[in-house]
Structures are given as structure tokens and as C-alpha cells.
Amino acid sequence: MSFDSALQFVLGFEGGFSDHPRDPGGRTNLGVTQRTLDAARRAHPGWNLPADVANLRKPQAASIYREEYWDAVKGDFLPPGVALIVFDAAVNQGPARAKKWLQEAAGATVDGVIGPKTLEAVDEASSLALIREVATLRALAYVQTGNMATFGRGWMRRLMSAVVEATRA
């Protein structure tokens, strides 16, 4: 799966501006939190990013998604369906968790660094098994947040859609 295809999937679930009081991410637009935007502005001053996440536009968000999420999980080096489920996990639940879940699913050393050994373990594993295991780890993490009553239905809808799309890729 290409970055552009995976991004289209993610943006289908990441709407416009939100500032829900129970959302630990706080102020968010197009799935990018104010905290993530602030970090991207410091790291990439030439990207001409807005100071306020409410003013973030899709092309700007795409640059952040590419650098901070897709490249962070080595999306270009993963099997298509695995790339989608891990990228979506990175966006929705954080890249650090997504990398470790991939490693756990693949039976690799869980150190949060996707390097040659992790990629080798991924290549040797069944893509369907990896998708299933990453999805299971994501679901367990959702339950542990304590926000299932508020966000659970949407999270599960997104996760099930990601599994379906990943198995088609």
C-alpha cells in the first residue's frame, strides 16, 4: 500500500477540528494534535506550518503524517496490509506503540526500533497473522484507556475498517 492510499484511509477517520474534553490528545485537526504540530514546526521551520492546529490544511497534515508516522514505522518497507494497520495505529495510538506492536506481532525484539532484524521478522511472518495480532494489541490498548464509553464505538469501527482494508491490500 502506498503512503497516499494509507493517508486517504486515515483521513477518512480523522475529521476536521476537534477539542473534546475527554480526548487526551487535546486540540486536534485532521488527526494532528497541537502538540504534534508544535513539534513539527520546531523540526521543520521551512514547512510553513500554522501556529494554531485549527488552521492546518491537508497538504500540511500530509507532510506531518509522512515524516512523523509513515516513515517512522517504515511503511515503504512493510507488506501493504501490514503497512496500513501499523500506520493507522501510529496515527491513532502513537508511533512508539505501533512500532512495538509490530515487533511483538512479528516475534522480533521489542525495542521500538524498526531496523533490519524487525523487517526480516516481518518478511518471514504471515501478513494476515501480523494484521490480526497488531489489531488485537490495538483493541486491548483501547480498553485500557478508560475512555471506551466515550470513544469506544468509533475506535472499534475504525479498527475493524482498518483490518478489512488491510486484508484487501
- For CA atoms 33, 35, 39, 44, the dihedral sign is positive
Find the distance separating the first CA and the last CA of the chain, reported in whole Å: 6
| pTM (2 d.p.) | 0.92
Spell out the domains of the chain, with CATH numbers in brackets. Answer: 3-168 (1.20.141.10)
Looking at the predicted structure, is the pLDDT value of residue 39 above 80? yes
Looking at the predicted structure, is the pLDDT value of residue 101 above 90? yes
pLDDT, tens only, 87-97: 999 999 999 99
Kindly state the average pLDDT of the residues 74-87. 98
Q: What separation in angstroms does the CA of 79 have from each of 41, 111, 121?
A: 31, 21, 12
Residues in contact with 165: Cβ distance below 8 Å, sequence separation at least 6, in sequence order:
9, 81, 84
pLDDT, tens only, 57-69: 999 999 999 999 9
Question: Cα separation of 105 and 117, whole Å?
Answer: 13
pLDDT, tens only, 144-162: 887 777 777 888 999 999 9
pLDDT at res. 35: 94
- Bigger pLDDT: 152 or 142? 142
Question: Cα separation of 148 and 126, whole Å?
Answer: 30
Of 78, 93, 114, which Cα lies nearest the Cα of 10? 93
Q: Which long-range contacts (CB under 8 A, 24 or more apart) does 91-97 make?
A: 91/10, 91/14, 91/31, 91/65, 92/13, 92/31, 92/138, 92/155, 92/158, 93/138, 93/141, 93/142, 95/68, 95/69, 97/141
